Amino acid sequence: MSEKSYLRWVIGNTKTCWWHDSADPRELDRGIERGAVGVTTNPFLSSIALNANRGLWAKEIATVLGRGGKAEERAEALMRIPVVAAASKMLREFERSEGRRGWVCCQVNPARAGDRVRMLEMARRVHGWAPNITVKLPATSAGLDVLEDCVAAGICTTATVGFTVAQVLAVAERHRRGIGRAKAKGIRAGGCFAVVMIGRLDDYLREVAEDARVDVSESDIRQAGIAVVKRAYSIYQERGYEAALIIAALRGTHHMTELAGAEVILSIFPGWQEPLMSGDLACEACIDREVDPDVIRRLSQMSEFVRAYEADGMKPEEFITYGVTQRTLSQFFDAGWKLMETFEA
């Protein structure tokens, strides 16, 4: 990594750290070399990694396919292969940091986003795959219930499919409740990461604006997710939440540079790591720089932005109905989990 790399500056001079957003082992090796201290996976990324590494994991894949069984069980077993491989690569970082870093996310079946029983059962199984796996649960009402139960049982969790201030605040509050329950039982509570999929929110609001013919510019749209994250981060700092924010689905270097200096985790896809290795980006902490109030005013013409931006913009039972939540869950299933259910050698 270049001495003038923006990523090197971020690692050495701010509270911001980053995780590698890919389940592919070769890409992960490069990410670790560049300073990644954790790994994001999901069914979509796991499916891609399996297809790209059929030779590397031929024996493991053959064992899973040879068992037969239900399609859902097959998908889970196949997903385990790249997840455990990533966990192995990050185990040294996990042990060296005494569990502060080196985590690998593994998501439960996205088709079960409202099924408390099935999600909790899978969370317990995934937790046993490796000591440094954090179980990814959807930031839905059901997902929050399971998250609290997991934290109370000492299982580290990550709340994913999050796009709004209301979601990540609810996650932090349920994490606290889980901590209280764990303490009452005399066990160590599970940690918690709360995801904001910043670029997916921008993508969604861009379509909303076009469809409703709202008078907002592309510059305004590119600041929507940033505004949501900055508001959420400010409240997290004010309330001293124990949960950590993960900012995922970056769509440009601006999503990193505008949040530099925050005590958050940025999940960076390999394609965006390259531009961030440049020495041309301004090395400055921008987290305290407010989004222009006029931008907020224009974006607030859209009720879908207001729902994302305001702390009370949605109730937990509404989280699963938010448009981009449904879109993302569907993609994770159709372009990820379902492909593993029908995977062939």
User: Could you tell me the CATH number of the domain that includes residue 276?
Assistant: 3.20.20.70
Q: Is residue 116 part of a domain?
A: yes
Q: Is residue 306 part of a domain?
A: yes
Q: Please give the model's pTM, rounded to 2 decimal places.
A: 0.97
Q: Is 76 exposed, middle or buried (0-12, 13-18, 19+ CB in 10 A)?
A: buried
**Residues 257, 137, 21, 202, CA torsion sign:** negative
For 254, the 3-state DSSP assignment is: helix
Q: Is residue 147 part of a domain?
A: yes
**CA 56 to centroid of chain Cα atoms:** 26
C-alpha angle with apex 197: 280 to 211, nearest 5 degrees?
100
pLDDT at 4: 73
The tally of domains found in the chain comes to 1
Q: Is residue 1 part of a domain?
A: no
pLDDT band at 280 (very low <50, low <70, confident <90, very high): confident
- What digits encode the pLDDT tens for the residues 31-69? 999 999 999 999 999 999 999 999 999 999 999 999 999
Q: Where are the alpha helices (DSSP H) in the chain?
A: 6-13, 25-33, 43-52, 58-67, 71-96, 116-127, 141-152, 165-185, 198-212, 218-222, 224-239, 254-257, 270-276, 293-299, 303-309, 323-332, 338-341
For residue 230, pLDDT over 90 is answered with yes
Q: Is residue 250 part of a domain?
A: yes
- What digits encode the pLDDT tens for the residues 148-196? 999 999 999 999 999 999 999 999 999 999 999 999 999 999 999 999 9
pLDDT band at 141 (very low <50, low <70, confident <90, very high): very high
Residue that is written with structure tokens 């050495």 in the block: 12
> Residue 272 sits in which domain range?
6-341
pLDDT at 2: 55
How far is 261 from 287, CA to CA, in rounded Å?
Answer: 6
For residue 227, pLDDT over 70 is answered with yes
pLDDT band at 345 (very low <50, low <70, confident <90, very high): confident
